[in-house]
C-alpha cells in the first residue's frame, strides 16, 4: 500500500512535525515549506544515504560544495540567462497565470497536436482551470532565475546583478580544473554535490513537489566522448535501483524518455525517473511526474566555460573565461573536452516519494485503524523509542532514560512516557520508528527489555547489554 494522494501526506506531515507551511503566522508564503523536527532528520537521512551511495561506496567520486551566488557570467555562458525560461500564459478574465506546457498537459492536450498548431490555435479550446473561460493572452518566456544584487550598490546597477543558482551543476563545471588537479583523477570520474537551488517557478504547488527553494543532489560524471552513451545507460539503471533500495516499490517508479522537443539545449538524451505522485488521477498517464533526471549533457558545459574554443572566423566563443577546461589523456596524448552524464535528483521530491510509498494503514484487534509509516530504517527519523511501561516507577523510568543515553551515541533514540503503551506504539508507528524498546518491571530483575518491530508487531526480549549491537545489526538488514 502507498498513500492514496499527496493530501494524506500533507496532513500527516503537519500533524506529526515533518513539514509545516512556511511563515504561517503571517499568512504563509505561497508554496514555501519548513521542515520540522522529524522532517529535518528525514531530509538529512536521504542526503546521507545518497552521499554514502554516490561518493563513499565508489572509487571514482569526489565531493564539492560550491557557492549559491556565482559570477553572473557563469549563467551567461551556461545559457541560463537566455534560455532558462518557462512559457507563460495569463487568463484575461481572472488574471490567473499558468505555465503553458503544464496547462496543456493538465488539459489533456495531445502533445503531437502542439507541434502542428500555433499556441493561439491550441489555447482557443482550453478552459482556464480557475474560471472556466477561454480568453488567453499570448504565450511569452519567463526567466526562472531569482535576481539579486551584491554589495552596497544601487538596485539597477547591472554590474552588481547576480542570480541565486537554479541548479548546482554549474558550480561543478567551473571547478572541473580545480578538482582534476587537486585530486589527480583520471577519466572516468564524477563530482557530487548536494545543495539548495532556486527557481522562480510560475506555478509551484503539490506540497513539496514543486517549490521555489529546493534542494538538489547532483553528480557530474566525466567520460571520454564515445563512452557517454553506455555510461549514461548504466547510470539510469543505477539510479532506478537506488530508489528501490530505499524501499520504494518498483511498480511506483518508471523511466520516461524525454522526446527530442523536450530536451534542454545541452542534452543529447535525457531519461527521467518518474514516481506515481498522483495515484488518485483517473488517467494513468497523469499519475506520474519527475523524481529525477539523468541527462547526457555532452561536452557543452566544459566547452562553453573554456577560453579556447573559437568560431569559424577564429574568434573566441568565450572571451571572458581565463581557463581551458579540457582534459589531457596521457595514454593517447590527446586533448579533449570530456562528456558529462548527470544524474540530478531533488531531495524534497525524494522525501515526498518515500513518505508516500511508506504510508500504510493497519487495523488492530480492537478494529482501530492506524497509520504505519514503513520507512526504510536507514531513512527513519528516529531509530528507537525507549518507553517505560510504568512512568510512576522511578526505577523503571531511570532505567529507560539510562538506556536512551547509552544508545544515543550510535543511533537516534528518543524517550517517551507521555501516554499508555498502546498510544506510544501507535505514535511511533505513525512516524516510521522501526523499533520500540519497552522497559517493564521484569527488566529490573533480568536486565532485559522488549524490542517491538514496527512492521510485524512482533516482540523479542533482549539483554540491555546487547541492545546497541542488536539494534545496529537489525538496522543493517
Ligand atoms: P520539472 O520538469 O518538474 O520542472 P526539471 O526537469 O526542470 O523539473 P531538473 O532541472 O532536471 O528538473 O532538476 C533535477 C531535479 O531537481 C528534478 O528531478 C526534481 O527532483 C528537482 N527539482 C527541480 N525543480 C524543482 C522544484 N521547483 N521543486 C522541487 N524540486 C525540484
**Closest residue by CA, ligand 1 atom 21:** 346
pLDDT tens-digit readout, 12-48:
999 999 999 999 999 999 889 999 999 999 999 999 9
pLDDT tens-digit readout, 435-451:
999 999 999 999 999 99
Is pLDDT of 432 > 80? yes
Of residues 367 and 165, the one with the higher pLDDT is 165
**How far apart are alpha carbons 196 and 347 in whole angstroms?**
9
In terms of Cα–Cα distance, which of 234, 225, 183 is closest to 338? 225
Residue 260 cell numbers, joined: 527530442
**Average pLDDT for residues 177-191, to the nearest whole number?**
96
Atom nearest to 204 CA in ligand 1: 27
pLDDT at 368: 86
Contacts of 53 (CB under 8 A, 6+ apart): 242, 245
Q: Which residue has the cell 580544473?
A: 177
Q: How crowded is residue 267: how many other Cβ atoms within 10 Å of its Cβ?
A: 17
**How far apart are alpha carbons 185 and 183 in whole angstroms?**
5
pLDDT at 250: 97
**31 C-alpha to center of ligand 1: Å?**
15
- To test the pocket of ligand 1, the residue of 86, 346, 353 to mutate (highest count of ligand atoms within 8 Å of its CB) is 346
Atom nearest to 201 CA in ligand 1: 27
Atom nearest to 199 CA in ligand 1: 27
**How far apart are alpha carbons 397 and 332 in whole angstroms?**
70
- To test the pocket of ligand 1, the residue of 290, 292, 347, 353 to mutate (highest count of ligand atoms within 8 Å of its CB) is 290
**Average pLDDT for residues 238-248, to the nearest whole number?**
97
**Closest residue by CA, ligand 1 atom 1:** 290
What SS3 string covers 64-131?
CCCCCECCHHHHHHCCHHHHCEEEEEEECCCCCEEEHHHHHHHCCCCHHHHHHCCHHHHHCCCCCCCC
pLDDT at 113: 62
pLDDT at 108: 81
In terms of Cα–Cα distance, which of 227, 190, 186, 173 is closest to 328? 186
pLDDT tens-digit readout, 309-346:
999 999 999 999 999 999 999 999 999 999 999 999 99
pLDDT at 106: 83
pLDDT tens-digit readout, 269-297:
999 999 999 999 999 999 999 999 999 99
SS3 261: helix
pLDDT at 69: 97
pLDDT at 241: 98
**Closest residue by CA, ligand 1 atom 28:** 210
Is pLDDT of 115 > 80? no
**325 C-alpha to center of ligand 1: Å?**
27
Sort strands 359-363 and 289-298 into parallel, antiparallel or unpaired. unpaired
**142 C-alpha to center of ligand 1: Å?**
17
Q: How crowded is residue 293: how many other Cβ atoms within 10 Å of its Cβ?
A: 21
Listing DSSP states for 135-153 in one string gives -B---EEEE---EEE-SS-
**291 C-alpha to center of ligand 1: Å?**
7
**Average pLDDT for residues 421-432, to the nearest whole number?**
95
CA angle, 78 then 82 then 85, to 5°: 105
pLDDT at 109: 80
**Closest residue by CA, ligand 1 atom 3:** 290
Quick check: bond before 188 cis, omega within 30?
Answer: yes
pLDDT tens-digit readout, 192-237:
999 999 999 988 999 999 999 999 999 999 999 999 999 999 999 9
pLDDT at 359: 98
Contacts of 97 (CB under 8 A, 6+ apart): 88, 89, 90, 91, 202, 203
Is pLDDT of 156 > 90? no
**How far apart are alpha carbons 381 and 389 in whole angstroms?**
23
B/e letters for 112-122, b = 16+ CB within 10 Å, e = fewer, are eebeeeebeeb
- Give the pocket of ligand 1 (CB within 6 Å): 167, 199, 201, 210-211, 214, 216, 290-293, 344-346, 348-349
| Residue 287 per-residue DSSP state | G
Is pLDDT of 159 > 90? no
**Closest residue by CA, ligand 1 atom 23:** 346
CB 49 within 8 A of CB 379: yes
Of residues 476 and 268, the one with the higher pLDDT is 268
Is pLDDT of 158 > 90? no
Atom nearest to 347 CA in ligand 1: 20
SS3 222: strand
pLDDT tens-digit readout, 69-112:
999 999 999 999 999 999 999 999 999 999 998 898 888 887 55
Q: pTM score, two decimals?
A: 0.93
**Closest residue by CA, ligand 1 atom 25:** 210
Amino acid at each position: 500500500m502507498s498513500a492514496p494522494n499527496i493530501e494524506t501526506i500533507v496532513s500527516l506531515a503537519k500533524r506529526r512535525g515533518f513539514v509545516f507551511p512556511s511563515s504561517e503566522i503571517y499568512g504563509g508564503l505561497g508554496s514555501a515549506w519548513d521542515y520540522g523536527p522529524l522532517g529535518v532528520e528525514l531530509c538529512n537521512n536521504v542526503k546521507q544515504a545518497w552521499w554514502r551511495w554516490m561518493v563513499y561506496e565508489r572509487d571514482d567520486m569526489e565531493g564539492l560544495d560550491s557557492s549559491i551566488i556565482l559570477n553572473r557570467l557563469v549563467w551567461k555562458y551556461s545559457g541560463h540567462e537566455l534560455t532558462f525560461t518557462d512559457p507563460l500564459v495569463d487568463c484575461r478574465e481572472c488574471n490567473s497565470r499558468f505555465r503553458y506546457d503544464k496547462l496543456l498537459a493538465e488539459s489533456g492536450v495531445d502533445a503531437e497536436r502542439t507541434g502542428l498548431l500555433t499556441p493561439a490555435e491550441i489555447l482557443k479550446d482550453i478552459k482556464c482551470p480557475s474560471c472556466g473561460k477561454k480568453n488567453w493572452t499570448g504565450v511569452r518566456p519567463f526567466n526562472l532565475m531569482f535576481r539579486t544584487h551584491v554589495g552596497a550598490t544601487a538596485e539597477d546597477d547591472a554590474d552588481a546583478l547576480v542570480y541565486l543558482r537554479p541548479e548546482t551543476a554549474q558550480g561543478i563545471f567551473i571547478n572541473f580544473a580545480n578538482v582534476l588537479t587537486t585530486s589527480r583523477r583520471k577519466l572516468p570520474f564524477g563530482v557530487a554535490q548536494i545543495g539548495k537551488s532556486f527557481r522562480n517557478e510560475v506555478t509551484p504547488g503539490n506540497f513539496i513537489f514543486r517549490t521555489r527553494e529546493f534542494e538538489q543532489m547532483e553528480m557530474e560524471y566525466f567520460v571520454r566522448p564515445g563512452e557517454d552513451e553506455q555510461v549514461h545507460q548504466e547510470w539510469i539503471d543505477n539510479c532506478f535501483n537506488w530508489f528501490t533500495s530505499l524501499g520504494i516499490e518498483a511498480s511506483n517508479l518508471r523511466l520516461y524518455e524525454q522526446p527530442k522537443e523536450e530536451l534542454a539545449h545541452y542534452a543529447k538524451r535525457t531519461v527521467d525517473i518518474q514516481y506515481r505522485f498522483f495515484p488518485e488521477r483517473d488517467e494513468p498517464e497523469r499519475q506520474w511526474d519527475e523524481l529525477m533526471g539523468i541527462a547526457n549533457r555532452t561536452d557543452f558545459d566544459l566547452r562553453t566555460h573554456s577560453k579556447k574554443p573559437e568560431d569559424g572566423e577564429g574568434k573566441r566563443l568565450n572571451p571572458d573565461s581565463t581557463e581551458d577546461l579540457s582534459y589531457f589523456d596521457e595514454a593517447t596524448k590527446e586533448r579533449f573536452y570530456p562528456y558529462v552524464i548527470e544524474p540530478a535528483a531533488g531531495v524534497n521530491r525524494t522525501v515526498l516519494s518515500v513518505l508516500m510509498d511508506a504510508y500504510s494503514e493497519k487495523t488492530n484487534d480492537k478494529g482501530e485503524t492506524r497509520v504505519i509509516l514503513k520507512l526504510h530504517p536507514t531513512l527513519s527519523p528516529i531509530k528507537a523509542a525507549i518507553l517505560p511501561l510504568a512512568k510512576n516507577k522511578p526505577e523503571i523510568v531511570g532505567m529507560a532514560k539510562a538506556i536512551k543515553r547509552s544508545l544515543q551515541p550510535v543511533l537516534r533514540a528518543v524517550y517517551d512516557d507521555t501516554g499508555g503503551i498502546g498510544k506510544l506504539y501507535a505514535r511511533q508507528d505513525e512516524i516510521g520508528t522501526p523499533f520500540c524498546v519497552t522497559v517493564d518491571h521484569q527488566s529490573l530483575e533480568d536486565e532485559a527489555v522488549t524490542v517491538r518491530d514496527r512492521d510485524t508487531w512482533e516482540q523479542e526480549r533482549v539483554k540491555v547489554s546487547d541492545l546497541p549491537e542488536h539494534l545496529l545489526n537489525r538496522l543493517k538488514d
